[in-house]
Chains A and B, each alone.
Chain A
């Protein structure tokens, strides 16, 4: 009985998560290679959205330049791959000392994971010890995204400038050209990482640390009075989120087969904000569903509209834009946010009714 009540009281979004993962697990069975490839990319983006949800949805730190961390992870793999295959544009005989780790296959994996973490640590140290918060945090991260994009374009010696880098190996560790899993095999690699990241997030937000993070979001000053050090918690979550974003970038580059400056710029940073906002912040499911829905409809609308007629092709963005406006205006809490709100108000009503019933009974018992 207690287990059953616990299951019944489980928030509705956990059921959606379950359904989503079952859907993703069976997806390659009934879909062709093209859609498996598209979905692999979307799943990598889902990890990225989860990492932003930890930071924005749970801790209230709205990073408008999260793509910097995503792109940093991706570029590590890109440079490692270009070096391993001696791409034509590489004009140096030796990797510089700060990139030397990329010559090892496992080194590239670790670099893609930890460099974004280090960047987050570095930025975080300055910002959180300087008590920069709210809109200023957002603005500084936004500027960082712009700077990073220019930086990557400028450093063409290592990043091949605005042309970007091709990554022909589709494996987890190896960067050599000949190593290549099929789209289907790599799909399950990405899915495994997505599931892992999701479970990590789910576990984290329900620990004490997770509660403190949500406390920071609600009222940071009060938490300070209670004896917590918000800066340390914020630094921790920024680093963790950065590493997850780096992981997402690494997987995305492998799926896509290339990386260029758009993966590190303001455009992607804005997109991920939109995905999370549309899905709903602070419940993990919103980040997953928002990304899936928007990325899927983007791909679909583009191909449907250019299928109808080439002159018609440009209007799919209009349709998507109108839909986004509608969602933001009508349900600012996001799709999953609304569902949760409804469930909570229903549970609240039920509870109230139960108390009322009890009171009526007790009145009957002792007249």
Chain B
């Protein structure tokens, strides 16, 4: 037994020593990571027929330019943790965009080095890794984050060390920060069109369900205002805690409080909770009279749910099925790098991450050699990008994007068909 104890003690000592040793070697190991990804970029480049020449150029540039001529950015996503499934597509899209930019010659001849960090859906870890990126790796900008909690938590760090963050997730639009560029939609680019469409095409009765988070609560609050304005009928409202997976009582309530005339179930539920609701709702056989409409429905969700999602409505600024040349090019290269199956589950957050990296590259190019936060942030003003969802523009006042609102209907194969889209891009109004 004592031998075992000694073994354990030695092991622990070994790990500590390793950790201490890596303390100083930390930066060199990340550089190694970057080199491997740079190698991957040439492989991606060869897939795109027209950029094979550019690919050679890249390797030439890479060998001649010194380290000082490279631009370093940080990527922060949950590779582990509760939201890792949603963020996988964001991470892939970021890598895809960076590889394409590097293969096309980088930013004014400078290659982008990127350092990837995992924040494991935990706000405190997010602060840690963002500080790591800023202080140890000295990145010029950061792209990433998904949960609102993590974004709010890193804001003081961004302000203290003056580093811009490009945040690609649609969010409640509550407290914009000057150091953050938002490339996702805000509620006025979704709900303002969703509710009227549903009232005209489905039913005037609404039952609101939401996870008890700032995001869902804000959306339901705005839905109520819109309903009152348009003379809709609010049948009931329910906020559930974020780990709720049993909805039998909620479903019973819906059955009781709504008559036979039909009703829109406006459900904005997070992750597992959302999956459970759709499945149980479908199993209860309520799909004939009631139609679920939700902000959180996307391609990853609809393919995972199968039958339970068919015939429900979704509302974001991007659907996989959009027919634009930019979108088919994006999906094609995505499929080439990560596989056909993965490309089917490309979602709005993935697309907006792709946009985020491309907009950042433009801003960096405009900034030239001056990579201070103020310059980079100012250079985002009025940038446009021919994104897969259509042309988007950065609003100089709020640093959110102008985009179209789209409403989609889930088809039996899991894809989402666009049934409505606004004629023009909509001005973002984050604080309303």
Binding site for B on A (CB under 8 A): 31-35, 37-38, 41, 87-89, 150, 153-154, 156, 160-168, 180, 256-258, 260-263, 293, 296-297, 299-304, 306-310, 313-314, 317, 323, 326-327, 330-331, 335, 338
Contacts and interface: CB of A to CB of B under 8 A. Distances in A.
Interface centre among B22, B132, B155 (most CB of A within 10 A): B132
Contact of A262 (B22, B118, B122): B122
B324 interface: no
Given A34-B136, A161-B212, 12 more contacts: A41-B128, A88-B431, A89-B175, A165-B152, A258-B124, A262-B149, A300-B23, A301-B19, A302-B120, A304-B29, A309-B36, A314-B84
Contacts of B29: 304, 307-308
Given A163-B214, A304-B29, A307-B29, A34 B118 contact: no
Given A32-B136, A314-B118, A338-B5, A87 B175 contact: yes
Given A293-B16, A331-B5, A164 B149 contact: yes
A257 B160 CA distance: 10
Contacts of A314: 79-80, 84, 118
Contact of A304 (B11, B26, B116): B26
B135 interface: yes
Q: Max chain A CB contacts within 10 Å: which of B12, B30, B136?
A: B12
Given A88-B431, A257-B127, A304-B29, A166 B79 contact: no
Given A314-B118, A330-B4, A163 B148 contact: yes
A307 B30 contact: yes
B61 interface: no
Contacts of A338: 5, 9
A257 B157 contact: yes
Interface of B is mostly: helix
Nearest to A87: B175
A13 B34 CA distance: 43
Nearest to B241: A150
A331 B5 CA distance: 6
A303 B214 contact: no
11 contacts: A34-B131, A88-B175, A153-B241, A256-B153, A258-B152, A258-B155, A260-B153, A262-B149, A293-B16, A309-B33, A313-B118
A31 B20 CA distance: 11
Contacts, number: 159
B87 to A, nearest CB: 12
A32 B135 CA distance: 8
Contacts of B214: 156, 160-163
A258 B212 contact: no
Contacts of B280: none
Chain A residues touching B, majority SS: helix
Contacts of B8: 326-327, 330-331
A311 B372 CA distance: 31
A309 B91 CA distance: 13
Interface residues of B, number: 57
Interface string B1-41: 00011011101100110010011001001101100110000
Given A262-B123, A293-B16, A306-B117, A166 B155 contact: yes
A297 B132 contact: no
B156 A258 contact: yes
Contacts of B5: 330-331, 338
Contacts of B174: 88-89, 163
B19 A296 contact: yes
Interface of B: 4-5, 7-9, 11-12, 15-16, 19, 22-23, 26, 29-30, 32-33, 36-37, 79-80, 84, 91, 116-118, 120, 122-125, 127-129, 131-132, 135-136, 148-149, 152-157, 159-160, 174-175, 212-214, 217, 241-242, 431
Contacts of B212: 153-154, 161-162
Contact of B153 (A164, A304, A327): A164
Contacts of A38: 128
Contacts of B30: 303, 307
Contacts of B131: 34, 37
Contacts of A299: 128
Given A296-B19, A331-B5, A306 B431 contact: no
Nearest to B136: A34
* Residue from A165, A167, A326 with most neighbouring chain B CB atoms (10 Å): A326
B148 A256 contact: no
A292 B269 CA distance: 38
Contact of A164 (B11, B16, B120, B152): B152
Contacts of A35: 23
Contacts of B33: 306-310
Contacts of B148: 162-163
A266 to B, nearest CB: 11
A118 B431 CA distance: 38
A313 B149 contact: no
Contact of A313 (B9, B79, B241): B79
Given A313-B116, A326-B8, A308 B159 contact: no
A88 B214 CA distance: 13
Contacts of B4: 330
Contacts of A154: 212
B32 A180 contact: no
B39 to A, nearest CB: 12
B12 A257 contact: no
B78 to A, nearest CB: 10
